[in-house]
Amino acid sequence: MNAEEIAATADLARQLRVDSIRSSTSAGSGHPTSSLSAADLLAVLATRHMHYDWQQPKLATNDHLIFSKGHASPLIYSLYRAVGVVSEEELLTTYRRFGARLQGHPTPVLPWIDLATGSLGLGITAGVGIALAGSRLDQLPYHVWVICGDSELTEGSVWEALDKASYYGLANFTVIVDVNRLGQRGPTELGWDLDAYAARVEAFGCVAIKVDGHDIEAIDDALGKAATAGRPAVVLARTVKGKGVAEIEDKEGWHGTALKPELAERAIQELGGVSSIKVDSLRPPEGQPAITPDPLAKLQLPRYELGQKIATRNAYGDALVALAGRPEVVVLDAEVGNSTGSESFLKVAPERYFETFIAEQLMVGAAGGLAARGYIPYAATFGAFFSRAFDFVRMSGISGLRIRLAGSHAGVEIGPDGPSQMALEDLASMRAVHGSVVLYPSDATSAVALVIAMADAEGVAFIRTTRGAYPVIYGADEQFAIGGSKVVRSSDSDAVTLVGAGITLYESLAAADLLAADGIAARVVDCYSVKPIDVDTLTAACNATGGRMVVSEDHYPAGGLGEAVLSAIVEAGVAPHFTHLAVRELSCSGTPQELLDAAGISAVHIADAARALIHV
């Protein structure tokens, strides 16, 4: 850089600082000090290294900027003013206001944002997914830049991400860490010990580059080295929180605190006053992704014989093989592909299969990054272990990302492995995610159909699969729609409705047989779509059976199938005589049938509950 370029970049950094103060003071809240520390880093990156057409944010060859330290949103929004996509008026009068797109933490309501950030440790995992898309799928030269805070580096997901970035050799991936020493309540764990940070980064196989985060020329050199390192790089920038404002520089107690108007005015004058510098980023190259989506591709679906015993987790794998015909479908698995069924896809489309090993947060975050690039990621692990990554699932819902999650080994049905492996909270957690779809098929035919249907669902879609092999009960041509259900058994004389899903559908059918031996006819409903739920079918069944309904589920009672059914029919105006059977005690090892019996959700318990309702 020559002296003129250094001066111009420094002037831009000062403007970013001023506008970060102005916007947060106007809003009366925000994180100006965290913005001030990273201003020099962003000024150099945006003008000298990032290839981006700000007027065409969806251009395939644009670089990607993931602002993982989303609380410093005044800084990124100030950059948007400098590049001309956000006006001064919008920045100063709408930031953090109701209904505005400049929210407290960035979300994709802004076209320059790939995904919502603010949950620390998320942005770097998503960046790995975007970098995988660029190097392995799109085969385009765009670079992924992730800006993190130093407090963020205590999150385990950061190190999961760096480990997998190294494993996959993501030379198009650079993390810039704003090491400003101060966290929310005081000093960070390592403070300004860049050597300690560097040792950790290098231990995970990435290049560590230390730099003075306020030396424009040194930052420029560091980013250049990072982009050409030939492997993932982490730029560790020593910065000062509140840089440029003497009254608050490196002072505790200023995190997340907007400057009062008097102090803001003094700070702005100290920084040289308000300016209106306009800049642009480097022009991205021409190019198109190597993979073109084909949502209308003809798929070769598996067909099963009635009565054939197949686990729905294996049917999940069969469906993925069929979905390999859609080039935009990719698969991730957390080193359990032989249990979840995912490895079936590996055998037919290895170039679109990503092993994340036992790193569930990275898997879900990377799935979000792949979805941001237009791919349809299916990510699988045991249903219980999605709880580790639930925050990132939640953030995908906020971003509106179309990720598909498959949780195997559901409920006490898994048998002798014991309670640590039993997914018994998963339906509740996934139902709670904004805009989610939650599916729980019973047999292989319905599982395949729903896995296929998930591909085109909006938002987060979760499918719960069963470990054990159970008979196919639906013909190969049976249709299954998200939001539907199936009445598996019915008659005009039905006295009670039995609702199940997954394993409890089979137990409900067996209970119906027990009731039939007593001369009691029972209607059986397969509630395979837990969210959205088939209100019409459930209310019709309830009304047809005198309001008597038994719902059984291999799940804890809170937030699962029973509550979904009850809330749906009550909101529809039906007042049922309702019995809810669920797993209410801590389980243990045993055979599946022993555990279903012990939990009170087996056929005999369902039949007893039905009799009790009928004889009230």
Q: Which residue numbers are catalytic? A: 360
| Identity at 533, one-letter amino acid code | I
Contact 137, 290 (CB under 8 A): yes
Give the tokens for residue 118: 């603010």
User: Coil, strand or helix: which one is 253?
Assistant: coil
Residue 147: beta bridge partners?
Answer: 67, 176
Report the b/e string of 535-546 with b at 16+ CB within 10 A.
Answer: bebbbbbbebbe
The beta-carbon contacts of 218-226 under 8 Å, at least 24 apart in sequence, are: 219/40, 219/41, 219/44, 220/1, 220/9, 220/44, 220/48, 220/49, 223/44, 223/45, 223/48, 223/49, 223/174, 223/176, 224/49, 226/174
Give the β-pairing of 548-552 and 577-581: parallel
Contact 39, 21 (CB under 8 A): no
Burial level of 492, CB count in 10 A (0-12/13-18/19+)? Answer: exposed
DSSP 284: P
Ramachandran angles phi, psi of 198, nearest 5°? -60, -40
DSSP 138: I
- Give first-to-last CA distance, the chain, whole Å: 86
Residue 5: beta bridge partners?
Answer: none
Distance of CA 443 to CAs 305, 315, 383, 477, Å?
A: 11, 8, 18, 14
Give the tokens for residue 519: 């001369």
Neighbouring C-alpha atoms within 13 Å toward the C-beta of 69: 33
Contact 132, 369 (CB under 8 A): yes
Cα-based angle 593, 450, 500 (whole degrees, multiple of 5): 35
| Identity at 101, one-letter amino acid code | R
DSSP 334: S
Cα-atom radius of gyration of the chain, to the nearest Å? 27
Cα 419 versus chain centre, distance: 25
Report the candidate in 485, 333, 483 with the shortest Cα–Cα distance to residue 404: 333
| Identity at 68, one-letter amino acid code | S
Complete DSSP assignment for 523-564: EEEE--EEES--HHHHHHHHHHTTTEEEEE-SS-STTSHHHH
Q: Which helix (H) or strand (E) holds 341?
A: none
Burial level of 514, CB count in 10 A (0-12/13-18/19+)? Answer: middle
Give the span between the Cα atoms of 363 and 419, in whole angstroms: 23
Complete DSSP assignment for 585-614: S---SS-HHHHHHHHT-SHHHHHHHHHHHH
Contact 187, 194 (CB under 8 A): no
Give the span between the Cα atoms of 135 and 141, in whole angstroms: 8
